[in-house]
Amino acid sequence: MTQMHQDFPYEQRRVDHIHEEIKQKELKIAAKTSHLKQDVIELRKTFWDDVTVNLDEPDDVIETEASIKQQAELLTQKETIHGSLAKELRTLNRLKDNPYFGRIDFTEDGEEKESIYIGIASLMDSAEDNFLIYDWRAPISSLYYDYALGSASYQTLDGDVSGEISLKRQFIIRNGVIKAMFDTGLTIGDQLLQEALGNNASTTMKSIVATIQKEQNKIIRNEKSKLLVVQGVAGSGKTSAALQRIAYLMYRYRKQLNPENVMLFSPNPLFSSYIRNVLPELGEENVRQTTFYYFVEEKTGEEFSIESPFTQMEYMLTNKGTTDGQIRMQGIAYKSSLAFKEVIDNYVACLYISGVCFKPVVFRNQVIISNEAIANYFYSLDSSVSLFNRMELVANWLLKELALIQKREVSKDWVEEKIELLDKEAYAKAYYKAQKQAAGSVVDEEMILRKAVVSKMFARIKKRIKQYAFVDVPKTFAQLFKHQEQQKDLPTEWNDIAAQTIKNIQSNILGWEDAAPYAYFKGKLLGDMADRSVRYLVIDEAQDFSAFQFAYIKELFPHTRMTLLGDVNQAIYNPISKQNPLLLDEKNDVERITLTKSYRPTKQLVQFTRHFAPGKDVIEPFEREGNKPKLVDVKEENQLVEVLINEVQELFQKGYETIALVTKSIQESKQLYKTLKGKIDCILVDEETYTFTKGILIIPVYLAKGIEFDAVVIPDATNKHYTKEDQILFYTACTRAMHELSIMVTGEPTAFIKETPKNTYQMTEI
C-alpha cells in the first residue's frame, strides 16, 4: 500500500516542492504577461502615431513603408512573446495538479546516479539549471517505456547513451497529492493501467502518456520509416499511440514542423470530435484533420453531389437481395481495385489523341467560342505535351480570343442599355477614372462607361476559363464507361455497372466508389499538384481505404512520410483482401508493427470476441477482470423493448455513463430510437452528429468504430439479422465495449455466438 511505502513522505514533499516552484513561476510569468499585454494594447492604439507617413516623393514613400514595417515588426515581436508566455502558463497549470507519473533512477556509464521524473511537459528549477521534470518525449524518457530494471540505453543526436536503471517508480497524483505509488520491474506496471482502464469511458479520448507500452512507444518514436503500418487488434491503443506520435514529432522537430505540415485522416466527424483534446492536453496545437470524404469532395469540385461512405454502407446493408444491389456491389469491388486504376490510366493515355469533351464559351446566351473550336485547338497542339499543360495553353488562347471579342462588344447597342441601369457609384468611378486619364485632354466618359460595363461582364467568364471550366470533365469521365472494347479483364456485369454509373453521372451524383476515381481522373486531366506541405500523414482506420484510394493518396503525397493504423478484423468497408492497405506487399521503406494485446476491454470480453474475429491474428487480453458478456434470450418478441429498457437501466445503476445500443444500420437505429423515445432518455447518433456526448446512445456500428463505451447493448443478434456475411460488423459492434456487453436475441442467435464456447458468456432466458 502507498501509505506503507518508506519513500512516501519524501515523494510527497517533492510534489509539494514542485507545486511551490510552479506557483512562483506562474507569478513571475503572470507579471511579465500583464506588462506585455499593456504594451501590445498601447502599441496597437498608437501604431499610426509612431509611423512617419509622407507620400509626396518616391523617397518619402520608401521611408513610409520602412517605418510601417518597423512598427509592425515590433508589434509582432511583442505579440509572439506574449503568446509564448501564455502557452507556458497553460503548461504550468497542467503540471500543477499532476506534475509527473513516473520516476527512473538511471546511472549513465561513468557518471553518478540521477533520479529522472517524467511528466507531460518539462520543468526546470528556479535557476534554470536542472530538470525537475522531463517531458515524456525527451530522449532520456524512452528508458521509462522501453526497459525494465538493469542495463538500458537511449538515443540522442550525439549517439547512444548506456547505463543502468536501478529503480522504476510509478505515481498516481491528483490535485498535488500522491494517491498511489508503486515500484516495479516491469515496463509500465499493471496497477497504473488498471487504474486508467477501470474508469468510465470519456466523451473525448485521453492522453495515454502515463501508460504507454513498449510496443506503442516503438510506434510513437519511429522516425526512419517512410511508411509505418500498424495492425492493431481492437482496444490495442493504436489511435492513442498515433496521436502521441504526432505530439512526439511536433516536439522532436519543433523548428521544422508546424501544425500545417501534419495531416490526419479520421474516419468520421464524430471521431474527430472524440480525439480533438488529445494534442492540446499535451501542449500541442491540433494538426490539419479531415475525413477522406471531405478531402475528396474538395478535389471533385461542385459538379457532383457525392455519396458518403456511410450512405454507401447503408445501401449495401439494405439492398443485398436486389438485382441493382448485386450489380452495384460488383461495381464497388472492381472500382476499389488497382485494376480499375489501370483502366483509367489507359483511358487517359487515349485522350492524348482524341476524346476530351469541351464546353462552349457562352456570352449573353450566345456561343462565342464553340466546343468544336476549342477541341480543334487542343488537338492541334503537340501530342507529346501533357494534357494539363495543354489545358493551360488552351486557357491562354481563349483569354486572347476573349480580349478581341470584348473589344468588339464595347460599341454594341446592348451596352448602352446596361449603362442606363448603372448606379451613382459606378458613374462616379467612371468619372474619376476619366479625370485621371484626361491630364488636360478630352476623354469620352461614355466610352469609359462602356468599357467598364463590358469588362465587368467578361471578368466572370475569364475567371471561369482560368479555372478550366471549358473542359467537360464529367462527360469525358462518363465516356470511360462507354468504350468497353478498349478495356480488358472487366467483371462479367460490366455493362450493367457502366449503365448504373452513367445514369448517376448524368444525374450529377457520384457514388462513393466513384468519388476517388473521378478525383484521380480529374487530376490527370486538369493537373493536380502533389502536396509538398504535408510532411507527415496519419491515416486512422486505414483498413477501410480501398487499394485505389490508397494509391491515389500516395500520388498526391509522394514525398510524405505516412503512418497507417487499423485492424483488418474491422474492415467494414473493405473486406479482408490482399489489396487492403494494411496488407499490401510493399517492401521499400516499410515497417510493420503488430499490436496483439487488447487493453480497452476486460479479459472476459476479449475471451468472448476473439473466437469470431475475422482475421487470424492472435488477440491477447489484458488482465483486467470483469463480467462475462450476457446473452439475453427473449422468448416473446413483444417483450424485447421492456427487456432492453431494463437492461439499460441496470447498466446505469452500475454507474456507467456511456451506454451504446449498437445497431447494424442507421435504418435500424432510427426504428429503435422511434420505439424507445419517450420511454427512456436516449440520443440518436447519425452521420450529422459531430459531438460525442454521455448518455444512452443509439448508433450504427460503422459510426461507432474507433470509439469506446462503458457498456454496449446489441439489440438484435439473431441469425437472420447477423448472417455469415456480417462477421466484421458483429465483431466490431461487440468490441466497442470497455466493461459490459449485453446481446439480445429473440430466436436463433447468430452463428458467431454458436461457434463461441459457452463458458465465455452467461446465458439468461426471459
CB 710 within 8 A of CB 658: yes
Interatomic CA distance for residues 477 and 520, integer angstroms: 11
Is the dihedral angle over the CA atoms 38, 40, 46, 50 positive or is it negative? positive
DSSP 272: H
| Most confidently modeled range among 296-305, 481-490, 616-625 | 296-305
Buried residues in 724-763 as b, exposed as e (16+ CB within 10 A): eebbbbbbbbbbbbbbbbbbbbbeebbbbbeebeeebbee
Tens of pLDDT, residue by residue over 128-178, are 889 999 999 999 999 998 898 999 999 998 899 999 999 999 898 989 999
Predicted confidence at residue 308, as pLDDT, reads 94
DSSP 562: E
Quick one: which of 406, 408, 409, 410 has its CA closest to 398?
406
Alpha-carbon distances, residue 616 vs 78, 591, 613 (angstroms): 58, 20, 8
Across the range 614-624, mean pLDDT stands at: 85
pLDDT at residue 77 is higher than 90:
no
pLDDT at residue 601 is higher than 80:
yes
pLDDT at residue 193 is higher than 70:
no
> Which residues fall within 8 angstroms of residue 759, CB to CB, at 6 or more apart?
none
Cell numbers found for residue 435: 479625370
Cell numbers found for residue 391: 489545358
Is the dihedral angle over the CA atoms 212, 215, 219, 221 positive or is it negative? positive
Quick one: which of 225, 231, 285 has its CA closest to 258?
285
pLDDT at residue 666 is higher than 90:
yes
Tens of pLDDT, residue by residue over 206-264, are 666 777 888 888 999 998 889 999 999 998 989 888 888 999 999 899 888 999 999 99
Least confident of 31-35, 181-185, 642-646: 31-35
Interatomic CA distance for residues 642 and 627, integer angstroms: 23
Grade residue 265 by pLDDT with cuts at 50, 70 and 90.
very high
Q: Please provide the average confidence, as pLDDT, over all residues in the chain.
A: 86
**Alpha carbon 334 to its chain's center:** 26
Interatomic CA distance for residues 184 and 395, integer angstroms: 70
Across the range 79-101, mean pLDDT stands at: 79
Name the amino acid, one letter, at 55.
L
Helices 309-318 and 666-676 meet at what angle, rounded to 10? 80
Predicted confidence at residue 547, as pLDDT, reads 93
- The fold adopted by the segment(s) 213-302+524-598 is Rossmann fold (3.40.50)
Half-sphere exposure of 714 (CA within 13 A, CB side): 32
**H-type alpha helices, 538-665:** 547-556, 603-609, 640-653
pLDDT at residue 197 is higher than 80:
no
Buried residues in 554-569 as b, exposed as e (16+ CB within 10 A): eebbeebbbbbbbbbb
Grade residue 32 by pLDDT with cuts at 50, 70 and 90.
confident
Across the range 610-623, mean pLDDT stands at: 87
Interatomic CA distance for residues 721 and 167, integer angstroms: 55
Residue with cell 501564455: 86
Predicted confidence at residue 19, as pLDDT, reads 93
Predicted confidence at residue 85, as pLDDT, reads 72
Grade residue 194 by pLDDT with cuts at 50, 70 and 90.
low
Q: Which residue has the higher pLDDT, 580 or 19?
A: 19
Annotated binding site for ATP: 232-239
Across the range 472-501, mean pLDDT stands at: 87
Tens of pLDDT, residue by residue over 519-535, are 999 999 999 877 889 99
Alpha-carbon distances, residue 373 vs 358, 360, 517, 561 (angstroms): 9, 9, 29, 45
Interatomic CA distance for residues 474 and 304, integer angstroms: 9
CB 219 within 8 A of CB 625: no
CB 703 within 8 A of CB 570: no
Interatomic CA distance for residues 268 and 291, integer angstroms: 6
Report the phi/psi class of residue 644: left, alpha or beta, with left for phi > 0 and alpha for psi in -120 to 50. Answer: alpha
Range list of β-strands (E), 175-207: 177-183
**Alpha carbon 227 to its chain's center:** 17
Interatomic CA distance for residues 638 and 642, integer angstroms: 8
Predicted confidence at residue 1, as pLDDT, reads 40
Predicted confidence at residue 457, as pLDDT, reads 86
Cell numbers found for residue 359: 464546353
- In three-state secondary structure terms, 505 is helix
Across the range 622-645, mean pLDDT stands at: 92
- In three-state secondary structure terms, 738 is strand
Quick one: which of 138, 139, 163, 143 has its CA closest to 103?
143
Tens of pLDDT, residue by residue over 356-381, are 999 999 999 999 999 999 999 999 99
Report the phi/psi class of residue 440: left, alpha or beta, with left for phi > 0 and alpha for psi in -120 to 50. Answer: left
Alpha-carbon distances, residue 28 vs 40, 92, 130, 176 (angstroms): 18, 12, 19, 21
Least confident of 261-265, 272-276, 507-511, 627-631: 272-276
Cell numbers found for residue 126: 528556479
Grade residue 189 by pLDDT with cuts at 50, 70 and 90.
very low
Grade residue 505 by pLDDT with cuts at 50, 70 and 90.
very high
Quick one: which of 619, 574, 625, 585 has its CA closest to 604?
625
What whole-number percentage of the chain has pLDDT above 70?
84
pLDDT at residue 3 is higher than 50:
no
Grade residue 447 by pLDDT with cuts at 50, 70 and 90.
confident
Tens of pLDDT, residue by residue over 673-717, are 999 999 999 999 998 888 888 999 999 999 998 889 999 999 999
Predicted confidence at residue 440, as pLDDT, reads 52
Q: Angle at Cα 550 formed by Cα 323 and Cα 487, nearest 5°?
A: 55
pTM of the model: 0.84
Q: Which residue has the higher pLDDT, 632 or 76?
A: 632
Q: Angle at Cα 89 formed by Cα 85 and Cα 90, nearest 5°?
A: 120
Predicted confidence at residue 755, as pLDDT, reads 86
Q: Which residue has the higher pLDDT, 162 or 67?
A: 162
Annotated binding site: 232-239
What would the CATH number be for the domain defined by 617-765?
3.40.50.300
Grade residue 387 by pLDDT with cuts at 50, 70 and 90.
very high
Predicted confidence at residue 83, as pLDDT, reads 60
Quick one: which of 271, 224, 230 has its CA closest to 564?
230
Quick one: which of 76, 70, 68 has its CA closest to 40?
76
- In three-state secondary structure terms, 180 is strand
Q: CATH 3.40.50.300 spans which residues of the chain? A: 213-302+524-598, 617-765
pLDDT at residue 64 is higher than 80:
no
Predicted confidence at residue 35, as pLDDT, reads 60
